[in-house]
Structure 1
């Protein structure tokens, strides 16, 4: 059973990597600013001094570049193409890698962000991601992660009408909070977001809403390492 689970996880990881490699241009044009600076301003205000890691950094635009304006940064992405592009934003500081096994020493970062990235991690491996975040964060460090409003698993074989597949295993607020707490995080705030990626709705400058709003399609959870 464990072997089957491992094979499923590897297959899912390959689909996600392929999708972000092949659709890098399409994704860059579709994923607009959805209130990122508002969220990052709050995160930086809550974080202790020190560098930030953007885990699942994509091409580096919208998060890594904003953080780099004030802090030392590092980025990591599963996709080789996304990591290559992000290195244009933070030269020499972005690597291709897996969030379940971060290539960084313990107590390295003051903050970790994971915008729309953990939602692609197999649910069984999500606790490993949060344990890794806790390992590389300094005491009192903060994390900002995108989760679901509820649990949902899905696949799209023609993601963004680009001809490549994509998969998601999204954990909702309850499960995500439980896993964060098990990794010694305290969730101290949540913000909802109307996620317009891939649909016909007009994107505004900010799509952030109250976490309890019926309009919220995903959540951003703020969590502090409680050790």
Structure 2
């Protein structure tokens, strides 16, 4: 996989990235709710928490907020299973996006300093979440960090169509307790958690935004912050 700048880049096993001619525009329900203040706050913390090095956005969607937010100052690579999303993200981070599955990431071991999975693991069957976290641990360098969105409770919501592309998508959400157990089983230490309020509720209270305590009654989702041993 070719990268355009001369900074050290993660080694990527590059499968077919789909049709680059797919230029249809669509908002991404998986990331589109995130407000810029919340994006900036989480990515700013990631810059502090993670050592210098590449960042993998697993389930990168259209490339926002992670790829476009971090590309100016860090090497980035995005992975997504959906052909349309790969094409969209490739316009945000040219040459740095590959099509692939989170249960078998197309990256070498110890390739990245951080992994983000914002509203993406929830599209993987719960029976495979531990495998996903094992893959995150494999591609992370020692001491690497992982930010992953989980639910406030466990639920499953099948969907027949996704992003107007006709691709089926399953929503299988585990709560923070079970997700923490799985992360710890794969070698991570979950050192913090941040709640995100529903975007509609937050729009009525712009002064406070969407970031809240993980156990806040208005939290719709939770971002777990985890780290591998150094």
Name the TM-score class by shorter chain: 0.7 to 0.9
Q: Hey, what's the Cα distance between the residues in 2 that align with 1:169 and 1:32?
A: 19
Q: Which structure 2 residues correspond to residues 1-227 of structure 1 after superposition, within 5 A? A: 25-27=26-28, 31-34=32-35, 35-157=38-160, 166-196=169-199, 202=203, 206-227=209-230
- The number of equivalent residue pairs is 203
C-alpha contact 1:114 1:145 (8 A) present in aligned 2: yes
Structure 1: where are the runs of 5+ without partners? Answer: 1-20
CA offsets 1:20-41 (integer angstroms, 9 cap, x no match): x9x9614369814331111111
Note the C-alpha offset of 1:169.
Answer: 0.5
CA offsets 1:71-97 (integer angstroms, 9 cap, x no match): 000000111110111111111110111
C-alpha contact 2:57 2:66 (8 A) present in aligned 1: yes
C-alpha contact 1:24 1:82 (8 A) present in aligned 2: no
1:6 paired residue number: none
Give the structure with the higher percent helix: 1
| Alignment RMSD (CA, Å) | 2.6
CA offsets 1:132-173 (integer angstroms, 9 cap, x no match): 00000000000000001111111245778x695642110101
Structure 2: where are the runs of 5+ without partners? Answer: 1-21
- Structure-1-length-normalised TM-score: 0.81
C-alpha contact 2:30 2:61 (8 A) present in aligned 1: no
